[in-house]
Chain A
């Protein structure tokens, strides 16, 4: 690819012909008609039909459509609905974090206020004071998110970096405390509840059954994802990346970083609000915690886990978020602690998140070197699981001692019976953890070496191809 580009560049721009005679000579005939060639030169980004892109988006739509047909339990439908909602809000948050380099600690403000406006709107629709199809209630949430982002963001986006983060934190706390002060709007402890089944079904759709709500969410999710992806392909989207990389320089190429941040903030607020509105429809109740710092923290954490540097990273993060919040919290009381550990290791060993791990391995696969590392992956995964089992046994024993000591000292863990007051159980768990950790570290070292060698080989391969 690179060689063809070099040649295309060599024959095209009139201003640079003289220094590029060497290239032009290789394509002497077209060089004569340089001006003409430039006109008809196919553009790098211009492809009549981008097959790969169509495939991926069709696949995405297909997955959204088919998954609830495969997992038909009501539990699955609940989970999937929440995932759709989470995908929108995580992608919206990543407009700030991944694309604009804006670390917001108050992301839940905009989705949360969107939720409240949406549930109030829904109640007005139920009461008959407002004629609006229920399917458009999330749009009200979106407009609310946009409105509050426009108002609050005007203050926030005047600053960048740490100051920006601090202001978002402050505004988050402000809105949270408002939720306690104005129970008429936020509903106090009990929250605001609503009923999404309003009036007669239209075309058989009443939004009573969960599956109908899921498909509404899926449609919103698909369109929002497409629009947010499209944003990354526009001048504003690209300048937003430039602001992330080097805000100072952006000011010297004609752009006001503040305007760029402000616009991105509003767009992010709009999509977050849509997500909030869908949440209001889905749960039919909105409590003050949707604007809380814990919710904002969860968005940040899972967007980071999924991978903020790639567009699709937050989608992975959103799916994980729902799995963690719904499944993991059922499984163990210590789920937040496990989450913390996973987050810690992710930041230490894979700061680009899961998306970056995927992309790195795709690169390996593209150069046909993936099979050299998959045994290492098995060893790493195996030893990590052993270490995790040891650590988890100890964590669960602590929780058992603290919370369930009335049930006696014995507890079940992975099929084994542990005596939480016995030295052998603690020693055993500690031993498993130590062995696992040691094995992990040893495999990690040899893996890191192998990884480095492979990367060097790939670099050489790239150089070789370029030289062709």
Chain B
């Protein structure tokens, strides 16, 4: 599928809201199977970048490529059908459906059911099996028939990831997957993310430096809408520009906050 050299590629991507330019010529090239963490100070445009890649917003200029194919200007569902799936910072579930139904909904398109109203879900064996499989992967079997709105916070975050990966996309974007979790929960959760995204291209926005260094093969540092560094963790840590612009202050913040 991915004969292209890069799974995700950004070429001089810009995005303005009114007169304010949030993304100012971002360049990034992620190889298939790489795990990339995008870090940067608040307001650097990390979430905006995800929204551009996933098609939620259109870029003002520049090219976004998925497996070598231009996807800017496409709608989110068209991009999703081409093999990119994302999660959200605030859990974005189908709250009045059960956990299993949430996952099955996320599976249906990829299994070719489209808008079918002449087939019964009960007979959609491949979709049901895949939903059960994902249910086990995110370890929510015991909550299978509970409504998504009745889950605990951590369970909702897990389901959020489950919905994201269920369709089998090759490129996964996770927007602050561990936001709001306790330390011990975060640890377990990173393990979960590692398992369910094995073999896939992963882009994640993350604040927690522990998560970043634990999860990522490479780190992209976004400051004021520009990727100022993109390298393996040790190289990024040692990069004087990054230290000056960002890492030093964050580490100081985290020490001050007692992390």
The residues of A with any CB-CB pair to B shorter than 8 Å are 1-2, 5-6, 9-10, 12-13, 15-16, 19-20, 38, 43-46, 230-231, 233-239, 241-242, 244-246, 248-256, 259-260, 263, 267, 466
CA of A44 to CA of B127, assembled, Å: 13
**CB contact under 8 A between A45 and B128, given known A236-B117, A249-B92:** yes
Asked whether, in the complex, the Cβ of A15 is within 8 Å of the Cβ of B137, the reply is yes
- Taking the nearest CB of chain A, how far is it from the CB of B89, in angstroms? 13
CB within 8 A of B105: which of A9, A38, A231, A253?
A: A253
Total of A-B residue pairs, C-beta within 8 Å: 143
Please, which residues of chain A bring their CB within 8 A of the CB of B95? 245-246
**CB contact under 8 A between A236 and B136, given known A249-B93, A253-B80, A255-B109:** no
Please, which residues of chain B bring their CB within 8 A of the CB of A239? 105, 108, 115
Asked whether, in the complex, the Cβ of A237 is within 8 Å of the Cβ of B117, the reply is yes
CA of A395 to CA of B86, assembled, Å: 58
CA of A233 to CA of B195, assembled, Å: 32
**CB contact under 8 A between A253 and B163, given known A45-B121, A238-B101, A242-B97:** yes
CA of A1 to CA of B97, assembled, Å: 19
Q: Which of B127, B135, B166 has the most CB of A within 10 A?
A: B135
**CB contact under 8 A between A46 and B122, given known A236-B117, A239-B108:** yes
**B57 part of interface (Cβ distance < 8 Å):** no
Asked whether, in the complex, the Cβ of A2 is within 8 Å of the Cβ of B142, the reply is yes
Please, which residues of chain B bring their CB within 8 A of the CB of A246? 92-95
- Can you identify 14 A-B contacts, CB atoms within 8 angstroms? A1-B145, A10-B141, A38-B129, A43-B128, A235-B117, A238-B105, A238-B121, A239-B105, A241-B94, A246-B92, A253-B163, A254-B80, A254-B110, A255-B77
CB within 8 A of A233: which of B86, B88, B100, B120?
A: B120
**CB contact under 8 A between A15 and B133, given known A251-B77, A254-B81, A256-B75:** yes
CA of A237 to CA of B81, assembled, Å: 20
Q: Which of A2, A9, A253 has the most CB of B within 10 A?
A: A253
Q: Which of A13, A260, A267 has the most CB of B within 10 A?
A: A13
CA of A255 to CA of B75, assembled, Å: 10
CB within 8 A of A231: which of B106, B117, B135?
A: B117
Instruction: Write the chain A residue with the least CB distance to B117.
Output: A236
CB within 8 A of A13: which of B94, B101, B137?
A: B137
Please, which residues of chain A bring their CB within 8 A of the CB of B92? 246, 248-249
Asked whether, in the complex, the Cβ of B136 is within 8 Å of the Cβ of A13, the reply is yes
**B124 part of interface (Cβ distance < 8 Å):** yes
Q: Which of A16, A19, A244, A259 has the most CB of B within 10 A?
A: A16
Asked whether, in the complex, the Cβ of A235 is within 8 Å of the Cβ of B80, the reply is no
**CB contact under 8 A between A252 and B141, given known A46-B122, A234-B120, A235-B119:** no
Asked whether, in the complex, the Cβ of B141 is within 8 Å of the Cβ of A234, the reply is no
Please, which residues of chain A bring their CB within 8 A of the CB of B144? 2, 5, 9
- Taking the nearest CB of chain B, how far is it from the CB of A287, in angstroms? 34
**B218 part of interface (Cβ distance < 8 Å):** no
Q: Which of A6, A231, A236 has the most CB of B within 10 A?
A: A236
**B35 part of interface (Cβ distance < 8 Å):** no
- Taking the nearest CB of chain A, how far is it from the CB of B130, in angstroms? 9
CB within 8 A of B108: which of A235, A245, A248?
A: A235
- Taking the nearest CB of chain B, how far is it from the CB of A51, in angstroms? 16
CA of A246 to CA of B105, assembled, Å: 12
Q: Which of A233, A238, A248 has the most CB of B within 10 A?
A: A238
Asked whether, in the complex, the Cβ of B137 is within 8 Å of the Cβ of A16, the reply is yes
Instruction: Write the chain A residue with the least CB distance to B148.
Output: A245
Please, which residues of chain A bring their CB within 8 A of the CB of B104? 238
CA of A269 to CA of B145, assembled, Å: 32
Asked whether, in the complex, the Cβ of A256 is within 8 Å of the Cβ of B77, the reply is yes
CA of A250 to CA of B141, assembled, Å: 23
CA of A20 to CA of B129, assembled, Å: 17
Please, which residues of chain B bring their CB within 8 A of the CB of A241? 94, 96-97, 101
CA of A296 to CA of B76, assembled, Å: 34
Asked whether, in the complex, the Cβ of A242 is within 8 Å of the Cβ of B117, the reply is no
Known pairs A16-B133, A249-B88, A252-B77 / 11 extra A-B pairs, C-beta < 8 Å: A46-B122, A233-B121, A233-B122, A234-B118, A235-B113, A235-B115, A236-B115, A242-B94, A245-B93, A251-B77, A253-B108
Please, which residues of chain B bring their CB within 8 A of the CB of A263? 115, 117
Asked whether, in the complex, the Cβ of B136 is within 8 Å of the Cβ of A16, the reply is yes
Please, which residues of chain A bring their CB within 8 A of the CB of B166? 253
Asked whether, in the complex, the Cβ of A13 is within 8 Å of the Cβ of B133, the reply is yes
Please, which residues of chain A bring their CB within 8 A of the CB of B114? 235
**B167 part of interface (Cβ distance < 8 Å):** yes
Asked whether, in the complex, the Cβ of A234 is within 8 Å of the Cβ of B119, the reply is yes
CA of A244 to CA of B95, assembled, Å: 10
Asked whether, in the complex, the Cβ of B86 is within 8 Å of the Cβ of A252, the reply is yes
Asked whether, in the complex, the Cβ of A245 is within 8 Å of the Cβ of B125, the reply is no
Please, which residues of chain B bring their CB within 8 A of the CB of A248? 92
Please, which residues of chain A bring their CB within 8 A of the CB of B136? 9-10, 12-13, 15-16, 20
- Taking the nearest CB of chain B, how far is it from the CB of A43, in angstroms? 6
**B217 part of interface (Cβ distance < 8 Å):** no
- Taking the nearest CB of chain A, how far is it from the CB of B74, in angstroms? 11
The 8 closest A-B pairs by CB, nearest first: A254-B109, A9-B141, A45-B122, A16-B136, A236-B117, A245-B94, A235-B113, A251-B76
- Taking the nearest CB of chain A, how far is it from the CB of B203, in angstroms? 14
Asked whether, in the complex, the Cβ of B163 is within 8 Å of the Cβ of A245, the reply is no
Please, which residues of chain A bring their CB within 8 A of the CB of B195? 19
Please, which residues of chain B bring their CB within 8 A of the CB of A256? 75, 77
Asked whether, in the complex, the Cβ of A242 is within 8 Å of the Cβ of B105, the reply is yes
Asked whether, in the complex, the Cβ of A6 is within 8 Å of the Cβ of B115, the reply is no
Instruction: Write the chain B residue with the least CB distance to A246.
Output: B94
